[in-house]
Structure 1
């Protein structure tokens, strides 16, 4: 007996959606999921009963409506999304869509701040305590945060960056208090659960988007004040997969510094794009040698691959510091 849409759980609807989209598109979606999520959805797909074309269409429409609602929320908030949806599908349907979405979507604090010019935000925040500034920047886009951080006084720049990196979880009461200073009417959007913000990944995103001079100053200050944190940030500033963003001259330059035996391990777990970037800048004979080494090496531990790739990244970072190569980042203006 065919399944009905109202009988399906959220996980089952996701399975129906993946079936409807087909194997290629589903494979792309799986790339963004955890191993546990992939296993659960694969099991759901395998156990899925007969799904009628009508159910597939209903699930697809529901997914589309939720995506549109999420886009409206990011553009102008929950109120704006509800108004637009009411005009499009009617009041009851709009409320139903919003309710489904907010069950899984947490509206981020400081929603209003992401729509304000960074220079205006800077005027409000530059006199605030570094911890307050760090909290707000953790919720903004990396480009906004980069603009604000680059214009803070030098003594605050590294301190704010350090506090973002050290930040883990902030209580809703603190978020509400800070948020109300900037815009009281948005304080009711804050979730009652503890909200994750900041962390090393957040400060890396900001530093990747900031101008190189400010980035260098902040990293030098952090190296003096917190060497361990500075090293952890450095490890994430340029990852092995970013090799594909380097220009040909830079790739050829750092290749000369890498031992062939290291390449045979580092490239084991590399993407096809990275392999193409590396092999495309080597001699045919060298490529054949490395490929033979990779083949005869057999299985290699993931830990060994990661260590080899980090050694390559360390060489790239060293050459960049010496001015031998340039790794493109946000805020850089490239002149050919």
Structure 2
């Protein structure tokens, strides 16, 4: 090896790695390394031109070897090393991102919740109110106002309010929901002021109801130690009905997903087939797996076929079926035949 070769060899580690991919290709590789949900969330933020460019690159790429994967990751790291994220105009940047993903109305409501200078407002209070209470607040208002408010609520309570409106108002509200477009901060301030006046004048301070047996049960389930074993007996001495209501809420259907195969099999022997189909209809495929794993393949295939053939179910129907199964599980737990939860504060 000549001295020139030695010098060239020594200098190679300092040379920039050869670029095998374009910037678009590197972005495509990085995106394909993400999970489907994370990738979908990022793609949803692109405009049509960006989406077409990146999508075309993803489709056109063949097998991607380790060297190209490393290049894509290295490019991401290099960009991160060079990048400075200034605090100036951060609120405007976040607002723009939220508007692209949520729309201007919901983005404005979210900004009011997350900006440091934000203060509790009646619109946020409205999100806690029962649909029947919300209806009384806005039933006499212009459909445009009702539409704007419903867009700031979660879909289910908003739908309940809509269902309770007169038919002619329903049509006007839905039309405006479909066409409303950008809502200015002044309009949102007007709705906030209106709600503040209505809440104070019509219902006073008692309209915002928080807590209940379910919230108490959630706290106990999440608490560490022996909270359930100490708190519930104490409550039962003062108010047995309340203790029972809390205990009912502490057994959740989600706990059944953690049962071992033997316990699940024992549970399924006592579960009505119709209730099981309705309960599983409301679950994702991965959540159904513990149930199917405890059945014979023939029985599992039969249940799957029934689920596929079952028509659309209301959420209340699914929850009622799941509650039936929870009641069966709780009875078996009381008899000592199965164990529900763990030994760190949940029931056994």
Q: Which bracket does the TM-score occupy, shorter chain normalised?
A: 0.3 to 0.5
Which structure is larger by alpha-carbon Rg, 1 or 2? Answer: 2
- What TM-score, normalized by structure 2, do the two folds share? 0.39
